[in-house]
Structure 1
Amino acid sequence: MPLEILFKNDFCEWVDVESPTEEDLNYLHNKYNINVLLLEDTIDANHLPKFEQDGNLNFFLMRENTQLERSNLNTISDISTKLGIFLLDNVIITIHRMKNRSVYELKKEILLPVNKDISRDRIALNLALKVMKSFDDESKNLIEIMDQIESEIFLKNTNHSNHIRRLYRLKRKSGLNTRILNISTAWVDKFKLLDLDEIAVTDLKDKSKDAIADFEHLNTQVASLISMFLAMSDQKANQVMKVLAIYSMYFFPITFIAGIYGMNFVFMPELNLKYGYYITLGLMAGITLITFFYVRKKGW
């Protein structure tokens, strides 16, 4: 997508580049004298969030949560996408490899009359706040999913085999989001260098801390839920083994008797008794009843 001027007033100009090509990066390098290495960082899919300063240029590399349900959850690029912000003189340049929700939302809001005198640094701050909001929305979404799974396990008494898989995915997503947010504190703190009200910068820091706290709480809750689910699964398996063991107690003595009478000896006195067969069956039944009452008395 070619370079696009999203906003311009007497104080600043906002230039946006989506899916930049090599020609676009060369153009930005030549026109604004931006270091090529910084420009290349914006197209590196797995680059971590950071802040760099080069002369009068401030470079923020942010990562926004995408809320995509991807099959693999191995790297931070599986749950987030980059947003590079360059600030120099009266120009703000945003670069992103794919459609960015923060840019898209602010693009519509900035045309409102209330923003006609907005500054370069204020645009950057609004983008940062929307980036943090993407993580806040994701934490609420993951907490709802966790509550649903917890309800299915404990209240609805379901035994779906995919519970552990869903919990594992929650744990992976929550862990990756926590990692991104912890690293993002590096660029959040640097907003104090811009021409902004202290209260506005403090608000951004508070939102960052809140998002980190939410995901850390989620990490703890998911880990606890996984442990409880595994403990319940073990308990159910133990109950099954207990029932099988009790039935074995019933049948072991009568199986022993049946085994004796199954031996092919010539002389077996009981075979000549008129009621030998019934006596043997009665003996087996008596042993089974005695075993039953013994187990019941013991509370097994």
Structure 2
Amino acid sequence: MVYYCGNFCWYEFIQLATGNILTIPIMIKTIADSRHHPYEWVDVTDPTKEEIHEVASKYGLHDSSIEDCLQPDHLPKHENVESYVFIIFRLHSKDVSGKADTVQELTDKIAVFLKDDMIISIHKKAWPQLDVIVDHYLKKGLCKSTHHILNEIVKTGLDTYEERATKLTQEIEYYEENMFLKNRKVSLLEGLYYLKRKVDVTRRILLLSNEIIEKIDTPETSDTLTRNTRDLYVKLKSIYDSLFENTNHLMTIYFSISSQRTNEIIRVLTIFSVFFMPLTFIVGIYGMNFEFMPELKMKYGYPGVMLLMVALTVLIYIWFKKRSWL
């Protein structure tokens, strides 16, 4: 088994039983090498389990880190492992479906192995922030160490949450408008539930990322770049805390409005029943088929009963009005 490093890509040459050589590309890119930088940066995209173990064997990565790296829904963590620091950070996915409500559906994982002279980043999906770091920082010589690279990874990752926060705010405003100004829709509660789940999961991811920020911006390593990252994190945490409270309030208000509307309907039905109860009572009496009922032979019995029913209706209406029930 031989590896060839050319054009920022590795290839695995395997000799088959037939004597032919099979070339399998492994998506491993050398973003920065030790010839031009004081460190080396290796980026691995969508590797198989076997490929990750090959990388682990080559760079001396611990089995426990590899096990965490292979879990697609692993939450953010910062861990010191032997000669390196192992970090799992999650970026907010760019395209999220309306019913996405899990860690895996809302975010993408990136695993980082950090040494003084090397940084290895492993992720399943394409990582657009990589180009931003390379163009804006690496090529301009602003990243002097692997610590600076890590800082930019976390900072550009936090930017993905800021973009999503704007869309979540718009969604909250949409539900507020529909709840207060328009008639209820069948899908309103379902949409509100998924909105709450999105905010809740994203906020939890940010809270768990706090340790990573604390380790990046320490008194020993603090500089302008790391302080900017911390400021961005604090800002996003505040935004998502506010979004979390707003969605909870929306849920509470939705059920309150639903309960109020239900009570209004019951009130109207109760009023109708009160109007018809005495009328039904009168009709029930004269509907009994007894032979000897004195009113049955009265000449003005029918119009008299009708007038009585009208009078009762008017009296009930006046009584309701005086009590402000109408």
Q: TM-score, normalised by structure 1?
A: 0.90
Q: How many aligned positions are there?
A: 297
User: For residue 210 of structure 1, what is the aligned residue in structure 2?
Assistant: 235
Gap change, CA 1:27 and 1:130, over 3 Å in 2: same
**8 Å CA contact 1:3, 1:24 repeated in 2:** no
User: For residue 294 of structure 1, what is the aligned residue in structure 2?
Assistant: 319
Match of 1:167 among 153, 170, 192: 192
Q: Which amino acid aligns with 1:130?
A: T
Match of 1:98 among 103, 125, 132: 125
Gap change, CA 1:70 and 1:91, over 3 Å in 2: farther
Match of 1:137 among 163, 170, 194: 163
**8 Å CA contact 1:92, 1:120 repeated in 2:** yes
User: For residue 146 of structure 1, what is the aligned residue in structure 2?
Assistant: 172
User: For residue 60 of structure 2, what is the aligned residue in structure 1?
Assistant: 33
- Partner of 2:186, secondary structure, is coil
Moved more, 56-65 or 246-255: 56-65
User: For residue 40 of structure 2, what is the aligned residue in structure 1?
Assistant: 13
User: For residue 44 of structure 1, what is the aligned residue in structure 2?
Assistant: 71
- Partner of 2:71, secondary structure, is coil
Match of 2:291 among 259, 263, 266: 266
Structure 1, gaps ≥5 residues long: none
Gap change, CA 1:57 and 1:146, over 3 Å in 2: same
1:133 Cα offset (Å): 1.0
In 2, Cα distance between equivalents of 1:104 and 1:41:
26
**8 Å CA contact 1:122, 1:196 repeated in 2:** no
Match of 1:69 among 89, 93, 97: 97
Q: Which amino acid aligns with 1:12?
A: Y
User: For residue 122 of structure 1, what is the aligned residue in structure 2?
Assistant: 148
- Partner of 1:100, secondary structure, is coil
1:287 Cα offset (Å): 1.1
In 1, Cα distance between equivalents of 2:282 and 2:134:
87
Aligned ranges for residues 157-236 of structure 1 at < 5 Å? 157-192=182-217, 197-236=222-261
In 1, Cα distance between equivalents of 2:28 and 2:269:
72
- Partner of 2:140, secondary structure, is helix
Greater strand content: 2
Task: Describe the superposition over 1:250-275 as per-residue Cα deviations: whole angstroms up to 9, x where unpaired.
Answer: 11111111000100000122222222
1:197 Cα offset (Å): 5.0
**8 Å CA contact 1:7, 1:110 repeated in 2:** no
- Partner of 2:108, secondary structure, is strand
Moved more, 4-13 or 226-235: 4-13
Q: Which amino acid aligns with 2:178?
A: E
Gap change, CA 1:52 and 1:142, over 3 Å in 2: same
Match of 1:83 among 110, 116, 132: 110
User: For residue 309 of structure 2, what is the aligned residue in structure 1?
Assistant: 284
Q: TM-score, normalised by structure 2?
A: 0.83
**8 Å CA contact 2:93, 2:107 repeated in 1:** yes
Task: Describe the superposition over 1:58-110 as per-residue Cα deviations: whole angstroms up to 9, x where unpaired.
Answer: 2221111115226452x422321211112224322110122234335435545
**8 Å CA contact 1:121, 1:194 repeated in 2:** no
